Amino acid sequence: MAQKKISFYYKNICEDIIGSEHGISQSQLDDLAKKTGPAIEEVNRQRKAGIIPYRDLPYRKDYPKQVKEAARQIRGECENFVVLGIGGSALGNIALQTALNPYLYNIDSRQRKGPRLFVFDNVDPLQFGGFLDWIDGQLDKTIFNVISKSGQTAETAAQFLVIRQILMDRLGPEGYKQRIVATTNAGKGTMRAITSEAGFRSLEVPDGVGGRFSVLSPVGLLSAAVCGIDIDALLAGAAAMDKRVSETDFFANPAAVNAAIQRHYYQRGKRISVMMPYSYALKDLSDWYRQLWAESLGKRTDLDGRQVFVGPTPVKALGATDQHSQVQLYREGPNDKVFTFLQVDDFGRDVVMGDCPPSAPELGYLAGASMAKLLNAEKLATEYALVKDQRPCLTVLFDSICPETIGQFIYLYETTTSIAGLLLHINAYDQPAVELGKEATFALMGRPGYEQMADKIRPFTKQDSKFVI
Amino acid sequence: MAQKKISFYYKNICEDIIGSEHGISQSQLDDLAKKTGPAIEEVNRQRKAGIIPYRDLPYRKDYPKQVKEAARQIRGECENFVVLGIGGSALGNIALQTALNPYLYNIDSRQRKGPRLFVFDNVDPLQFGGFLDWIDGQLDKTIFNVISKSGQTAETAAQFLVIRQILMDRLGPEGYKQRIVATTNAGKGTMRAITSEAGFRSLEVPDGVGGRFSVLSPVGLLSAAVCGIDIDALLAGAAAMDKRVSETDFFANPAAVNAAIQRHYYQRGKRISVMMPYSYALKDLSDWYRQLWAESLGKRTDLDGRQVFVGPTPVKALGATDQHSQVQLYREGPNDKVFTFLQVDDFGRDVVMGDCPPSAPELGYLAGASMAKLLNAEKLATEYALVKDQRPCLTVLFDSICPETIGQFIYLYETTTSIAGLLLHINAYDQPAVELGKEATFALMGRPGYEQMADKIRPFTKQDSKFVI
């Protein structure tokens, strides 16, 4: 059987299809090829120089081995596996689970091949409190995987301090440590110190790999392996895509073509990039993409001595659902978006509609039809309606949804982001603007050393009744 | 006890806070008041003239009575309540459930006061198939609520034809009809004809109320009542807000001020409107808002003989989660967004952090702190960081999350949308651009009468291998 793959399809951005005002001509494509060539080579160079180590994750032998060994143990020890993390320590885990495990995984024990999975990426007292009410009484059947490179991320640290105390109170200072697995920096930092002191089992967050590029490391792989996902196949998919996105021939490199098209439209005023999977399973991949794209490309930069604010806004949508929510705007609102559909060729199962009621012959066209056929017809129909209104449309086509194709997709978009960062003249790997909010949180929580910041914030936090209705 | 309420806070769009380039001055506010006055009066006039009957839903006596009677029966007859609907027939139901019932409602039987609730708003074979695998064997403990004004919506009709056949096969041509409740047009249409023929129980979709304005009708109320939500309190909240949004004094009318500010920014290039609740429970209200805003305001229109594409793009985000995904872009990307935070004063419960591990004194500031305090500190901190970068921020403050405040929020945003529609010179109540995609779907599914359309689409649906990578 040939390996399942994904393809990138870009005809519906061409001027023959959507007209010359919004479409791209062959000579513009040739121009994009010329301008993007150096970026492809620079990314390849950075990769060889070890500057972007996320690119090597598909080839690491140590991580999958460690993860599979930990997963084997954990699967024997729990009925619930709970990830405590946020941002890059949560979105990849969620995306893999939604993509590769059944819709009712947590509800239907017959449909799952591992423990229930929960991923908490917030500090909401109602949400987390509701969870604590339920988990109470089965703590000895639950393992918590706290994921934080440093251990200082306030949300994850807060969740951890709640869980740690409950486990210590219930299972004693010795017993509790079997219930926590830490994924954190190998040699230093707050969570590493806690882990060494307490004797937790642990895995490593690789050096030099930012959270949003870490899903193919132990950060994203452990929960996947615990829940029965074939992580070797996932990594093999990423490695297969590696060859394609390293290709120096622009027109043979889907990451380069994707990045160049996205940048072309961004610079021509289409500042919104919509990703719309026609598949529930793929919906959280677009949430993962949303972080990757926004945090990597949303950057203040200096251009010829002028301060510039750069960054397309990623938007997640879901087909066919959002046809009844967003498509009115997508067609008749400003032509300020580029659309990327995710389409699945073979869902691997189907649901067939029954007979038509005698009183409703107008539904006859659906009788005996299948949901897979309808869903894909809706994708084509929506795309048709959009191109009729000169809106540019891209498609990532999945042969099927399996670890191999999901690995390909992740690696395609990570590399697309690297190339897009170069094309936009920004650093795709930092996130300087997140700092001020973190510091302001410390100040408001009374962390020592942040008293001056607290003084600065105070005038903004007091509600001024003149502006309250 | 004073009634719980929501307030609208708009100081952080003012020029004293975010500077004159992006802020609004007092004289501009006065100008907005002058320009918005006629729109307030026009909406009040339309409401009195019966043109926008969604405004009367809080005062209907018949609907709540019918819904509560149906809910009382249904609660005695099932352990699973399944809504089949899409768009406005799903988003309100989901929003009410997430807002007003526990996080683990479907998983923890001790935490729920009614049957499990599922809302299916797609035709995904993997998702729906996974659900069918689970529900099989408990069909006699399950009620399906098919919601469609006409009954011709392809996705809902498809789901219905699947479920109808399974129920007929399992429970016989007589037994199956007890398992379906239809919410549909009172007197005509496909689903009404099917309902009459089969003898299903039914409720009414009110005339003249579009899907996205229908959550306070039987469309949204039945699943809420079945799951134990106090719909009288919900409607009372909406009625309380009615007084405030009918106010002709601009500065006392939160819908008018909100609409005017949103329109002001839209026309000055801030085409993205982000709603970011700092509460998991409120997260699906922002998805409900996303349909309301996009489908109502995304419109092609003629302005002085020129064709104009109008419409802000609504974006949903979630605090604190998206601080680690979107805030980098929100601060350093283009200043093309207006932000609306939802903030909760009293969550009604809290979760307290435990002791700090001896090896990590740097986490001492969190020891003994509460999640509610941290979550609200994060909201203020993020807002502070945004206003420091001249980004306009609004807040809807909830005293607490309860049916009264949720009803107020829904009614506030519905009326805001009506006023914004007038300010943008568009019809907020139609959705003409959805039609072409529907027809194209019919054509691709082989519905008789759509053969010509099928011929037109064919060239677009064939993949051109030249553009595949």
Tell me the nearest-neighbour CA distance from A369 into chain B, angstroms: 8
Which of A188, A207, A232 corresponds to the end of one domain?
A: A232
Q: Tell me: pLDDT of B1 over 60.
A: no
Does residue A41 sit in the same domain as residue A109? no
Give the C-alpha separation, A52 to A39, whole Å.
14
**Considering only CB atoms, which chain B residues are within 8 Å of A110?**
133-134
Active site residues of A: 295, 324, 438
Rounded percentage of chain A residues whose pLDDT exceeds 90: 95
| Residue numbers of the domain that contains B395 | 6-48+237-423
pLDDT band at B460 (very low <50, low <70, confident <90, very high): confident
Does residue A293 sit in the same domain as residue A337? yes
What is the model's pLDDT at position A453? 93
What is the model's pLDDT at position A174? 87
Q: Is the pTM of this model over 0.95?
A: yes
**Considering only CB atoms, which chain B residues are within 8 Å of A121?**
321, 324
Residue A378 to residue B437, Cβ atoms within 8 A: yes
Q: Tell me: pLDDT of B44 over 90.
A: yes
Residue B435 located in a structural domain: no
Q: What share of chain A is helix, strand, coil (3-state, %, to 5)?
A: 55, 15, 30
Residue B468 located in a structural domain: no
Contact with chain A for residue B427, Cβ under 8 A: no
pLDDT in tens, A396-441: 999 999 999 999 999 999 999 999 999 999 999 999 999 999 999 9
Cβ contacts below 8 Å, chain A against chain B, sum to 514
Does residue B69 sit in the same domain as residue B94? yes
| Known catalytic membership, residue B283 | no
| Known catalytic membership, residue B324 | yes
| Known catalytic membership, residue B34 | no
Give the C-alpha separation, B412 to A149, whole Å.
42
Which of A211, A232, A253 corresponds to the end of one domain?
A: A232
What is the model's pLDDT at position B461? 85
Does residue B33 sit in the same domain as residue B78? no
pLDDT in tens, B195-222: 999 999 999 999 999 999 999 999 999 9
**Residue A347: partners with Cβ closer than 8 Å, 6 or more residues away:** A279, A372, A400, A401, B124, B125, B126
Residue B69 located in a structural domain: yes
Residue B152 to residue A363, Cβ atoms within 8 A: yes
What is the model's pLDDT at position B36? 98
Q: Is the peptide bond before B320 cis (omega within 30 degrees of 0)?
A: yes
CA-nearest residue to A128 within chain B is B351
Residue B121 located in a structural domain: yes
Q: Tell me: pLDDT of B282 over 60.
A: yes
CA-nearest residue to A372 within chain B is B125
pLDDT in tens, B360-417: 999 999 999 999 999 999 999 999 999 999 999 999 999 999 999 999 999 999 999 9
Q: Tell me: pLDDT of B169 over 90.
A: yes
Amino acid at A46: Q
**Long-range CB pairs of A48-51, under 8 A, 24+ apart, other chains included:** A50/A208, A51/A208
What is the model's pLDDT at position B37? 98
Residue B436 located in a structural domain: no
* DSSP secondary structure, A348-393, as one string: S---B--PPPTT-GGGGGGTT-BHHHHHHHHHHHHHHHHHHTT--E
Residue A394 located in a structural domain: yes
pLDDT per residue of chain A (469 residues) written in tens, 0 to 9: 468 999 999 999 999 999 999 999 999 999 999 999 999 999 999 999 999 999 999 999 999 999 999 999 999 999 999 999 999 999 999 999 999 999 999 999 999 999 999 999 999 999 999 999 999 989 999 999 999 999 999 999 999 999 999 999 999 988 999 999 999 999 999 999 999 999 999 999 999 999 999 999 999 999 999 999 999 999 999 999 999 999 999 999 999 999 999 999 999 999 999 999 999 999 999 999 999 999 999 999 988 888 899 999 999 999 999 999 999 999 999 999 999 999 999 999 999 999 999 999 999 999 999 999 999 999 999 999 999 999 999 999 999 999 999 999 999 999 999 999 999 999 999 999 999 999 999 999 999 999 999 999 988 888 899 999 9
pLDDT band at B46 (very low <50, low <70, confident <90, very high): very high
Radius of gyration of chain A (CA): 24
What is the model's pLDDT at position A33? 98
Task: Give the residues across from A36 on adjacent strands.
Answer: none
Does residue B295 sit in the same domain as residue B345? yes
Q: Is A348 left (phi over 0), alpha (psi -120 to 50) or beta?
A: left
- Parallel, antiparallel, or unpaired: how do β-strands A80-84 and A116-120 relate? parallel
The token pair that represents A105 in the structure block: 């995984």
Residue B166 located in a structural domain: yes
Dihedral sign, CA of B64, B65, B68, B70?
negative
**Residue A38: partners with Cβ closer than 8 Å, 6 or more residues away:** none
Other C-beta atoms within 10 Å of A84: how many?
Answer: 27
**Considering only CB atoms, which chain A residues are within 8 Å of B271?**
271, 334, 336
Give the C-alpha separation, A363 to B441, whole Å.
13
Does residue A39 sit in the same domain as residue A94? no
Residue B384 located in a structural domain: yes
Q: Which helix (H) or strand (E) holds B344?
A: strand B337-346
Q: What is the CATH classification number for the domain harbouring A257?
A: 3.40.50.10490
Residue to test with chain A: of B135, B332, B375, B439, most A Cβ within 10 A: B332
Does residue A13 sit in the same domain as residue A112? no
**Considering only CB atoms, which chain B residues are within 8 Å of A290?**
325-326
What is the model's pLDDT at position A2? 63
Give the C-alpha separation, A163 to A167, whole Å.
6
Which of B387, B407, B423 corresponds to the end of one domain?
A: B423
Residue B122 to residue A290, Cβ atoms within 8 A: no
Residue A384 to residue B290, Cβ atoms within 8 A: no
Does residue A205 sit in the same domain as residue A269? no
CB-closest option in B128, B244, B294 to A371: B128
Does residue B27 sit in the same domain as residue B113? no
Residue burial A67-83, b: 16+ Cβ < 10 Å; e: rest: bbebbeebbeebebbbb
Q: Which of B61, B243, B324, B466 is catalytic?
A: B324
Residue to test with chain A: of B384, B397, B408, B463, most A Cβ within 10 A: B384
Q: Helix (H, G, I), strand (E, B), or coil: what is residue B304? A: coil
Is A418 within 8 Å of A54 (Cβ atoms)? no
Give the C-alpha separation, B418 to B426, whole Å.
10
Average pLDDT for residues B283-312, to the nearest whole number?
Answer: 95
Q: Tell me: pLDDT of B117 over 70.
A: yes
pLDDT band at B2 (very low <50, low <70, confident <90, very high): low
Give the C-alpha separation, A265 to A112, whole Å.
43
Does residue B12 sit in the same domain as residue B90? no
Domain count, chain B: 2
CA-nearest residue to B278 within chain A is A124
Does residue B69 sit in the same domain as residue B170? yes
What is the model's pLDDT at position A248? 97
What is the model's pLDDT at position B318? 98
**Considering only CB atoms, which chain B residues are within 8 Å of A291?**
324-326
Does residue B112 sit in the same domain as residue B139? yes
* DSSP secondary structure, A182-234, as one string: EEEESS-SHHHHHHHHHT-EEEEEPTT--GGG-TTSHHHHHHHHHTT--HHHH
**Considering only CB atoms, which chain A residues are within 8 Å of B257?**
469
CB-closest option in B162, B349, B463 to A125: B349
**Chain A window 38-67: which residues touch B at a Cβ cutoff of 8 Å?**
none
